[in-house]
Structure 1
């Protein structure tokens, strides 16, 4: 057999093998990235919420209600700035089957301290599920769950929740 032809055949075979390994490694990477390890929680019952008395809020207590869950922190200026509009939206939607909760990962004592210094009239609670598991890369981060506890809407960043456009959106969910 011609040595040049043999070299060409050998080169083509190496390229084919390299392509196969490349595609196999891509598939393996895709399968790894789709594992449940980094999955975002999508159901209200997957969350651990605690009131300021230390009582776990049961998913049964929230069943059949739309839940507006605002994730915030006591040192987050945009979080605090949007609280009056959340309270106002809660008042506008009080007859639309909504429960409004503002949840922080901070200690219950920290949240109580904040609540005693600034009264926004919101139900402040602690969330013990890491907010990163909820897809929150920044605060404030708001999640809305339907009556079946399914996540139906997310918003990252401060919002004016009581403006007509936002209220229309909330009414329609």
Structure 2
């Protein structure tokens, strides 16, 4: 028997604008998507019990260290603040966190975690990367390839925004 999996609906968002949001931040404030305009943005969709999500966090942190002055970095989860805060006590994840976002995440339709969305400075979805654990290489090779892909997209966006 051959299993086929449906196309993940989230990929239909590429070349369209990010659905607008007003979401709760980890500290209890409300953040509007419009504040992200003006810089390219990396959005990571994740949750604390997702092993592939956790595996890529150190690489995402490295990317943020390299581009933090020129790029926004946001993590979005459906989980409640206390769950995320507890997780972040043991694993450092340097992104700005938006929580309790189940209804917003449902606007992307069916998809598997993690996903990393790359936006241009106008909030247009330029690329969506799957989690690197799905690549067919060793863990180290996957980390290198994931970082190369994200960095390549960001470098291209930064180059075009400077011209």
- After TM superposition, is the score higher than 0.5? yes
Of structures 1 and 2, the larger Rg is shown by 1
**Structure 2: any 5+ residue segments left out of the alignment?**
1-11, 133-141, 158-163
**Structure 1: any 5+ residue segments left out of the alignment?**
1-38
1:61 maps to: 35
Cα deviation, residue 84, structure 1: 0.7
1:93 maps to: 67
Supply the RMSD in Å over aligned alpha carbons.
2.5
Alignment map for 1:62-141 (pairs within 5 Å):
62-95=36-69, 97-126=70-99, 127-135=101-109, 137-141=111-115
Within 1, Cα distance between the matches of 2:125 and 2:85?
A: 28
Q: Does 1:143 align with 2:102?
A: no
Within 2, Cα distance between the matches of 1:45 and 1:163?
A: 25
Write out per-residue CA displacement over residues 26-58 of structure 1, whole angstroms, 9 at most, x where no aligned residue: xxxxxxxxxxxxx86943352333211221112
Cα deviation, residue 100, structure 1: 0.8
Within 1, Cα distance between the matches of 2:112 and 2:130?
A: 7
Q: What is the count of residue pairs matched by the alignment?
A: 134
Match of 1:153 among 101, 123, 127: 127
Within 2, Cα distance between the matches of 1:86 and 1:168?
A: 14
